[in-house]
Structure 1
Amino acid sequence: MRIRNKYRKPTALRCIAGSRCLMSNVVWSLVGLLVMLHLYTLLSHTNVQSRVARSSSISRNPLISELEEVEEENIQMPPPRRRSPRAAKRKPKKPTTLIDEFLDESSQIRHIFFPSMKTAVDPMNAVGNESLYYHPGQIWLDTEGNPIQAHGGGILYDGISRTYYWYGEYKDGPTYHAHKKGAARVDVIGVGCYSSKDLWTWKNEGIVLPAEENDETHDLHKSNVLERPKVIYNDKTANYVMWMHIDDANYTKASVGVAVSDSPTGPFDYLFSKRPHGFDSRDMSIFKDDDGVAYLIYSSDDNSELHIGPLNEEYLDVTHVMKRILIGQHREAPALFKHEGTYYMITSGCTGWAPNEALAHAAESIMGPWENMGNPCIGGNKIFRATTFFAQSTFVLPLSGLPGSFIFMADRWNPADLRDSRYVWLPLTVGGAADQPFDYSFGFPLWSRVSIYWHKRWRLPSRWSA
């Protein structure tokens, strides 16, 4: 027994020693991991500081400092309409909100959201200091004195002609409802195109992709839907390629359409429509990266998520590659742009014609993962910020020569008269630390904040040149 005990004792000691060695290895591994995490945090913090420093230098740029001044709005709600005591008792009225007033075509304060023709911005008759000023929400006239019709659109800068081209939905027709529960609509007229050298004076280049008047089976028949046209240039094929949302009156087709031209002013030849990657597609946009690769991004799965994927070399179709992003977040109206290697995007919520809160998103890779960065809107008042200044995103245009500076383009929809929908163009900057943490942790992203500043009246820096 003693022999056995003596034999077993050292065996037990060796096991304990082994456990201690194992524990020691685990402890030192954890220490090493913590050191590595600490170093990574320091490096990340350094990256954040360097990015913020670079972005802060943008804010210190005197050319754009005036664009970052915050303007406030103080809109007084109109007094409630008189109702008989019997009617009030039978059906008590809910408190009216500013959004209700915006959607009410008979509202007493409708002129605030949709100013009359008397205040129209007319570049051909601008007097003195009014030249080159943007007035968000006011009627904007072209060089012929007619309201610009380029809704839900985007801008292409053509390096060949050194001209900006603005494409959008031409909605100069009566608004109606296809059926009782149908959305407000205008018969398809086509895609309008306007040209400019200074981003303020726009010449009407006509309808570059017209509707089909007679063939009811055609995608572009006037009874269907054509929305959000965007055009990019293909350097390899020397073609201008247009992508757009194609649908029927009931929004069940949910497809994208493609057209092509050898001139920015058309005419564009319509090619086909399809459901990209086999999925439904509604609000959409296209983005051409620095390396020449173009991408399609679209709302899908009943607008519950966004899909993104590269186009082929000709930009005439999607490839088999696709990534689902912002799953379950119900976002639409995507507007992509890029700054210092980071991809940014502004999206809208899904509330029909009613305005809602914009969100900014960012990603190190265009295919994701994309992270939410919160509401980019600054100024106005609380309800202005919560409604994207009563507008919806459509495009973000970079300003050459002003790093980190962009024009945020949005539509202020008028569902009572869609042809009278207005344009809300505002300065957008990328700079400063992000103030929205990651969805899945308490950590903050490494990229900079996106800010859209409200102005009743503003213009690009006087020394900026197109």
Structure 2
Amino acid sequence: MRYSLIISLVLLFSCQEKVSKFTPGEKWLDNNGVHINAHGGGILDHENTYYWFGEHKVDGKIGNTSQVGVHCYSSKDLYNWTDEGIALSVSNDTTSLLIKGCVIERPKVIYNAKSKQFVMWFHHELKGQGYKAAMTGVAVSDQITGPYQYLKSVNPNSGIWPIDYPDSLKTKNYNLESIKKWSKEYFNAAAEGVFLQRDLQKGQMARDMTLYVDVDGKAYHIFSSEENTTLHIAELTDNYQDFTGKYTRALEGQCNEAPAIFKKGEKYYMITSGLTGWKPNAARSAVADHPLGPWTSLGNPCRGSEGDNNTTFKSQSTYVLPLKGKEDEFIFMADRWTPENAIDGRYIWLPIEFEEDKPVIKWQNEWYF
């Protein structure tokens, strides 16, 4: 009887139907028949295998804090995913900043060919402090699936001005307490760097983030800063584990988060979202000649139905994946958040097209490449 049960289970999993297309917004089952748990994630293509890293959520609102850590999955074809377990675990040590109940969001992993290490960065908020800390954390591993060793969390570039920040604004005085939040004066002051100045010595705020490795091996950390009003693009050291101090401001005072960056031809493109908490909003896009900018806005890239393209198909960007072996073909990756029951968040993957040198994302109920 025992052996019959084992054989039945083996047959059940071996006969599990293979996925051969993307169905955005539907449940996406892994090799164990469980909905993939890798929210706010990114993908690393390494040695002919794709690895998907994302936030491991649990049931209910508590799932919006990190109760487990960062989950990893692997795939050969991007359709069918194998559970590789928890790559980075939260700690039960009360002295650790990575203690269970903190916030770990938007983890991204890149490979350093010189050190032969895998480097993970993530948005990190301290337990019990809401989104006050606005830090970024880093962890490393010799194995792509982990376990990753947590190194530190920081507010980047303490005491350092951006390379594109004019001297004329470095000495400009602001009375921040007198500026009404969300007013025209507030956005003008934000664009000029009122929050940049405020945080200069402590280090800058770093919330929603992504990583980008250019063709020359130089890596960049892109994150929402200055009370989420302005993006920072910061160069990483050769080992990808720290900041060089060289960074720029992008789309100043325009309130962008959820950045995702990719390159087509000689141009760099970025897709972001606006600021509406867990509620979806219209995506934005921008273009530059270099990762450090300057960046020029291109408008909303979304076209189609599924609710409204002004809500990015009820989702928010997290990553753009270049398709290996297919020139100038990319997958837009986004999350359809369910904050009341975090574990049920769905994934919106759609192809990126180009029209008049602008990225365009069209809704499709199902598709394949």
TM bucket by the smaller chain? Answer: 0.7 to 0.9
Which residue, 251, 254, 260 being the options, matches 2:134? 254
In the alignment, the residues of structure 1 paired with residue 14 and residue 269 of structure 2 have an alpha-carbon distance, to the nearest angstrom, of 32
**Where does residue 333 of structure 2 map in the other structure?**
409
Does residue 458 (structure 1) correspond to residue 337 (structure 2)? The answer is: no
Q: How does 1:155-194 map to 2 (within 5 A)?
A: 155-159=43-47, 162-176=48-62, 185-194=64-73
Q: Residues 308 and 324 of structure 1 are in contact (CA less than 8 Å); yes or no, is this contact kept in structure 2? A: yes
The runs of 5 or more residues in structure 2 that have no matched partner are: 1-12, 158-202
1:124 and 1:380 map into 2 onto residues whose CA distance is: 35
Aligned amino acid, residue 363 of structure 2: W
SS at match of 1:230: strand
For the structure 1 residues 157 and 124, does the alpha-carbon distance in structure 2 shift closer, same or farther, using more than 3 Å as the test? farther
Shift of 1:373: 0.6
Q: Distance in 1 between matches of 2:219 and 2:111?
A: 10
Letter in 2 for 1:199: L
Letter in 1 for 2:142: D
Question: Does the residue aligned with 1:297 lie in a helix, a strand or coil?
Answer: strand
Aligned to 1:379: 304
Structure-1 separation of matches of 2:67 and 2:346: 18
Paired residue total: 310
What is the CA-CA distance between 1:123 and the residue it aligns to?
11
Q: Is 1:274 equivalent to 2:165 in the alignment? A: no
Contact 1:379 1:453 in 2 (8 A): yes
Higher-Rg structure is 1
What residue identity is the alignment partner of 1:301? Answer: E
Measured in 2, the distance between the counterparts of 1:238 and 1:296 equals 19
**Partner Cα distance (1:244, 1:123) in 2:** 35
2:35 corresponds, among 147, 153, 159, to 147
> CA contact under 8 A between 1:309 and 1:318: conserved in structure 2?
yes
Summarize deviations over 1:353-373 as a string: whole Å, max 9, x none.
110000111001111110111
Q: For 1:413 and 1:124, locate their aligned partners in 2 and report how far apart those are by CA, in whole Å.
A: 31
Alignment TM-score, normalising by the size of structure 1: 0.65
Structure ranking higher in strand proportion: 2
Match of 2:318 among 394, 403, 415: 394
Counterpart residue identity of residue 342, structure 1: K
* Per-residue deviation, 1:216: 2.5
What amino acid is the match of 2:295? W
Give 1:416 deviation, angstroms: 1.1
Map residues 5-44 of structure 1 onto 2, 5 A cutoff.
none
Report % sequence identity.
48
The TM-score, its normalising length taken from structure 2, stands at 0.81
CA–CA separation in structure 2 for the residues paired with 1:174 and 1:210: 20
- Work out whether residues 123 and 143 of structure 1, in 8 Å CA contact, stay in contact via their aligned partners in 2: no
Per-residue CA deviations over 1:386-443 (Å, capped at 9, x if unaligned) read: 00000000000001232221110000000110110000111112x331xxxxxxxxxx
Q: 1:337 maps to what in 2?
A: 262
SS of 1:418 mapped into structure 2: helix
In the alignment, structure 1 residue 427 sits paired with structure 2 residue 351? yes
Q: Deviations over 1:166-219 (max 9, x none)?
A: 00000024324xxxxxxx824431000000000011000000101112x22322
The corresponding residue for 2:16 is 125
Q: Superposed, which structure 2 residues align to 1:317-356 within 5 Å?
A: 317-356=242-281
Q: 2:91 aligns with which of 203, 212, 215?
A: 212
> Which whole-Å CA distance do the structure 2 matches of 1:297 and 1:330 have between them?
14
**How many Å apart are 1:349 and its aligned residue?**
0.4
| 2:75 aligned partner | 196
3-state SS in 2 of match to 1:336: strand
Equivalent AA in structure 2 for residue 276 of structure 1: P
Instruction: Determine whether 1:449 maps to 2:358.
Output: yes
RMSD: 1.6
Q: Which runs of 5+ in 1 are unaligned?
A: 1-121, 177-183, 434-447, 461-466
Counterpart among 120, 143, 147 of residue 263 in structure 1:
143
Alignment match of 1:223 (pick from 85, 97, 101): 101
Give distance in 2, aligned partners of 1:449 and 1:342.
11
- Provide closer, same or farther for how the CA distance between residues 174 and 279 of structure 1 changes in structure 2, counting only shifts above 3 A: same
Looking at secondary structure, tell me which structure has more helix per residue: 1
Alignment-derived partner of residue 6 in structure 2: none
Shift of 1:222: 1.4
